[in-house]
Amino acid sequence: MKAFTTGPFTGKHFAAIIVTFFAVVVSVNVYMARAASSTFGGVVVENSYVASQNFNTWLAEAEKEKALGWTATVTRLGDNRLAVALGGAPAEGVELVVTARHPLGRAPDRELRFARQADGSFVSDKPLDAGRWRLRFDARAGEQRWRQEQDIR
């Protein structure tokens, strides 16, 4: 059978095919490993054993926070500062801190402090760069504490 060659199929042809195949496989694996390690830092919790010991406590705290019924609505202002309306929260004595995290870890975390406005909303003390961010809310009013995560673009 000489459909694609001008001579017989030899061991050199077979060796070239095998070497090319494995070169492609190794190249793709190296590329995928580099892409995976450059986009994810690899640390979810510092110590998984300690985290497992605290898991039930964290679930109980989350249930208390959910029972408060607070909600957050976030909008960007023209100067890239954030405005947050906390629904269900007390009218007085609420302190709000937000940590903005880039989902892929390409930008450092940013902590935003908020000041209450006359209309009851909160406005951040500094702007947040454009793009996709994951916001971690931490609101406190006396002994009550409410935490939530929300994405913003």
Predicted confidence (pLDDT) per residue in 65-116, tens digit: 888 888 888 988 889 899 998 888 887 888 888 999 987 767 888 899 888 8
- Checking if the pLDDT of 43 tops 80, the result is no
Q: What is the pLDDT of residue 2?
A: 56
Cα separation, 120 vs 123, in Å, equals: 10
Which residues lie closer than 8 Å to 112 by C-beta, 6 or more apart? 82, 97, 98, 99, 100, 124, 125, 126, 128
Q: What is the pLDDT of residue 129?
A: 86
At the topology level, CATH places domain 64-152 in: Immunoglobulin-like (2.60.40)
Q: What is the pLDDT of residue 1?
A: 53
> Are residues 122 and 83 in contact, defined by beta-carbon separation less than 8 angstroms?
yes
Q: What is the pLDDT of residue 41?
A: 65
Predicted confidence (pLDDT) per residue in 80-92, tens digit: 899 998 888 887 8
What is the mean predicted confidence (pLDDT) over 116-142? 88
Single-letter code of the amino acid located at 125: D
Given pLDDT bands bounded at 50, 70 and 90, which one contains residue 7? confident
What is the mean predicted confidence (pLDDT) over 38-57? 81
Q: What is the pLDDT of residue 27?
A: 98
DSSP per residue over the chain, as a string?
--SS-SS---HHHHHHHHHHHHHHHHHHHHHHHHHHHHH----S-S-HHHHHHHHHHHHHHHHHHHHHT-EEEEEE-TTS-EEEEEESS-SSS-EEEEEEE-TTS-S--EEEEEEE-TTS-EEESS---SS-EEEEEEEEETTEEEEEEEEE-
Q: What is the pLDDT of residue 29?
A: 97
Q: What is the pLDDT of residue 21?
A: 98
> Are residues 127 and 120 in contact, defined by beta-carbon separation less than 8 angstroms?
no
What is the mean predicted confidence (pLDDT) over 37-50? 77
